[in-house]
Amino acid sequence: MKKLSIVDIANELKVSKTTVSFILNGRAKEKRIGEDLVERVTKYVEEVGYKPNSLAKSLRTGKSNTIGLMVEDISNPFFASIARLIEDRAYKNGYKIIYCSTDNDTQKTRELISMFRDRHVDGYIIAPPEGIEDDVEQLLKDGLPVVMFDRHLPKVNTDYVEIDNLFSTYNATRHLIQQGYKNIGFVTFASSQTQMLARMQGYKDALKESRFAPVVKEIVFNQDEEMIIKPMMAFFKKHQDLDAVVFGTNHVGTCGLKVFNTLGIKVPGDMAVISFDDYDVFKLYSPPVTAIAQPVEEIADNVITVLLKKLNTKGGSTASHSIILKTNLQIRGSSSGLKID
């Protein structure tokens, strides 16, 4: 009951394994193998359910039909949705996914890249932490296709799919200003990743335009949610004058709502809120919370399209694409959204 190999097939049919291989790889015509033989082999293979050993195949051809997907944290709803969509599209195109969560940890990520190389993944989809420029550069130099998303490495010239982060927070902040809010804070994770810097800048630009002073809190990420909530609580206690806040990520936003619940701060009565990313938590909050919705499907679609294109052009040197998608400000809780002093 052992697994069948191509030799078994060849022996059984009394042909050479070369012939079987050619037929199975659709090169029968090209190698002018007789139609009757092709038929006979195909039928038998079908009958016994033979499937080539993909390890052996990969070893010989150098292709593994696998894509490495590196997200920040697969349990974060944003990355989980993206992963799901990418998974679907990848499978449909004959690729499997190996994934991992980087935790934005540079050292861990470098090890993971090395692991992926080791496994000979054909292409890389990465939401990169800082500090992996050299490793990515090396991948590119070795002709391996890399697509980044959510953020990019400014010093590395590769394809990436992002959203218009700066405009998103700029627009959200302006929305608050137009509603009459005057003390608008910005709470985010401490990070110098491109998307974070841009979100911060968008907020600051909007405030500057209206000559308001920025009030920013950058929280150091921690696995333990308590360590996020505590400093945030301190921040809001200290800045009692704030009447609105923009949260830089869904995670910060969710924690923020928890803080407000604990402190008895009413949203949006006492504090207007806009969070990055739009999820059930924000939709179902009462009244619902305004949020910056990322076009998750579009992001995933673009990422996989760009990667597949690279995988299919062996030459490699197609020019790099930078795709910037638009977000959608979901304005909610409008009834009480207008600030009335």
Judged by DSSP in three states, 66 sits in strand
**Contact window for DNA (CB under 7 A) among 1-9, 81-89, 126-134, 180-188:** 1-9
User: What are the φ/ψ torsions at residue 177 (nearest 5 degrees)?
Assistant: -60, -45
Binding partner of residue 238 among a second copy, DNA, none, CB cut-off 5 to 8 Å per kind? none
Q: What is the contact mask toward a second copy in residues 263 to 302, using x (rule: CB under 8 A)?
A: -----------------xx-xxxx----------------
Binding partner of residue 14 among DNA, a second copy, none, CB cut-off 5 to 8 Å per kind? DNA
Q: Does 116 engage in binding with DNA (CB under 7 A)?
A: no
Q: Which of 66, 85, 82 is nearest to 74 (CA)?
A: 82
193 or 254, CB closer to a second copy? Answer: 254
What distance in Å separates the CA atoms of residue 278 and residue 303, rounded to the nearest whole number?
20
Instruction: Report the nearest approach of a second copy to the CB of residue 93 (Å).
Output: 13
Judged by DSSP in three states, 244 sits in strand
Strands (E) in the chain, as ranges, are: 66-71, 96-101, 123-126, 146-149, 159-163, 184-189, 215-219, 244-247, 272-276, 290-293, 322-325, 328-330
Q: Does 74 engage in binding with DNA (CB under 7 A)?
A: no
198 or 303, CB closer to a second copy? Answer: 303
Instruction: Report the nearest approach of DNA to the CB of residue 126 (Å).
Output: 25
End-to-end CA distance of the chain: 80
H or E segment at 43? helix 35-48
Q: Does 91 engage in binding with a second copy (CB under 8 A)?
A: yes
Instruction: Report the nearest approach of a second copy to the CB of residue 112 (Å).
Output: 8
What distance in Å separates the CA atoms of residue 22 and residue 273, rounded to the nearest whole number?
63
Judged by DSSP in three states, 148 sits in strand
Binding partner of residue 261 among a second copy, DNA, none, CB cut-off 5 to 8 Å per kind? a second copy
What's the farthest any 2 CA atoms get from each other in the chain?
90
Residues that bind a second copy (CB under 8 A): 1, 51, 53-56, 58-59, 64, 66, 73-77, 80-81, 83-84, 87-88, 91, 96-101, 114-115, 118-120, 142, 254, 257-258, 261, 280-281, 283-286
Which chain residues interact with DNA by CB under 7 A?
A: 3-7, 14-19, 21-22, 24-25, 31-34, 36-37, 51-53, 56-57, 59-61
